[in-house]
Amino acid sequence: MMTQGMSLIVKNTAKLVTGFIAVFGIYIAMTGHLSPGGGFAGGVILAAAAVLVILAFGRRGAKGLITDAQCHAWDGAGALAFAVVALCGYFSGQFFVNFIPRGKVHDLASGGMIPLANLAILVKVGAGLAGAFLALAAFRRLGMGKVA
């Protein structure tokens, strides 16, 4: 339990890099309506940052940052947010109608509800995949009966 995770070099590199990876994932999702990318790709990049932390610091070591309960909660919150964005279409009559003014093309605030839906998918996919990785990391201890 003293030496959780990988070596000091890996831990320090992970500390340096994780933030940039997470920011890049959020950027990919936020500019999904302007350039290639989108909520799903951004979410997976965000999950990759979480996976890096979990691998470098071990399951216990990452507990301060990423826990099962948090992943479950954010997964559900993202799904709910996407459904809420869809339901907000009723403001202009129908389910999934783009209810926000479409704005100027190539602006960050364009495309109406599309950036909002992208952000919801970002949260959902990121938390969901990170949670799935945590669940699979726990599987190891069940199978081998040794320490993680």
Partner 1 sequence: MGVELFIVALIGFMLLAALIAVEARDLLSSVICVGAAGFALSVIDLLVGAPDLAITQVVVEVVALVLLIRMVVTRSDTSVTAPRDALRTGLVLLAGGVILAAAFFAVGGVQRAGTMPPFGEPVLAHAKGDKVPPGVSQQYLGDPDELDKVSAGTRTADDPNGLGAAYETGTANAVMAILLDYRAYDTLGEATIIFVSILGAYVILRPKGRIGPEEGLLGRKGSA
17: number of Cβ within 10 Å: 13
- Round to whole Å and give the CA distance between 125 and 110: 23
Per the listing, tokens 């826990």 go with: 67
Q: Are 66 and 130 in contact (CB under 8 A)?
A: yes
Query: Is 44 a binder of partner 1 (CB under 8 A)?
Result: yes
Q: Which of 6, 13, 63, 103 is the binder for partner 1 (CB under 8 A)? A: 103
Query: Is 111 a binder of partner 1 (CB under 8 A)?
Result: yes
Query: Is 35 a binder of partner 1 (CB under 8 A)?
Result: yes
Q: Is 145 left (phi over 0), alpha (psi -120 to 50) or beta?
A: left
Per rule CB under 8 A, count of chain residues that contact partner 1: 58
- Give the x/- contact pattern for partner 1 in 60-89, rule: CB under 8 A: ------------x--x---x--xx--x---
> In Å, what is the CA distance from 82 to each residue of 65, 107, 113, 116, 117?
24, 22, 10, 8, 6
Residue 79 Cβ vs partner 1, minimum distance, rounded to whole Å: 5
Residue closer to partner 1 by CB (options 35, 64) is: 35
Query: Is 110 a binder of partner 1 (CB under 8 A)?
Result: yes
Q: Helices marked H in the chain — which ranges?
A: 8-30, 39-61, 68-87, 114-144
Contacts with partner 1, residue ranges (CB under 8 A): 28, 32-38, 40-41, 44-45, 47-48, 51, 55, 72, 75, 79, 82-83, 86, 96, 98, 101-107, 110-114, 117-118, 121, 124-125, 128-129, 131-133, 135-146
